[in-house]
Amino acid sequence: MSMVKNIAVFVGGVVFGTAGFKLLGSKDAKKVYVHTAAAAMRAKDSVMTDVTRVRENCGDIVAEAKEINLKKRSEAAAEIIEDESKAE
């Protein structure tokens, strides 16, 4: 009985596998693949747009931070010069 069951399972698998390949290769399935790929490409474009925007904002933030640090350094240098001139 076990041998018949194993053969039946094998034959069933072959039949479903063959039907599956036919289904996956059909025109309707191909349309689904195309639409899915198109949606993935649109999503990629959207993500890349957001990434570019974030990179630009990070660049602006870094530039402003450098300006602030440069200003603070020059203010600190001016204070040191004032302190030295008062000490003399």
Q: Give 6-61 pLDDT, tens digit per residue.
A: 888 888 887 777 777 777 778 888 999 999 999 999 999 999 999 999 999 999 99
Residues of the domain holding 46:
2-87
Buried b (16+ CB within 10 A) or exposed e, 38-58: eeeeeeeeeeeeeeeeeeeee
Confidence check: pLDDT of 69 > 70: yes
Q: What is the mean pLDDT of residues 58-79?
A: 91
In the block, which residue shows the tokens 């479903």?
16
Domains contained in the chain, number = 1
Exposure on the CB side of residue 64, measured as CA atoms within 13 A: 6
Confidence check: pLDDT of 87 > 60: no
Q: Are 29 and 23 in contact (CB under 8 A)?
A: yes
Confidence check: pLDDT of 4 > 60: yes
Residue 77: predicted pLDDT = 80
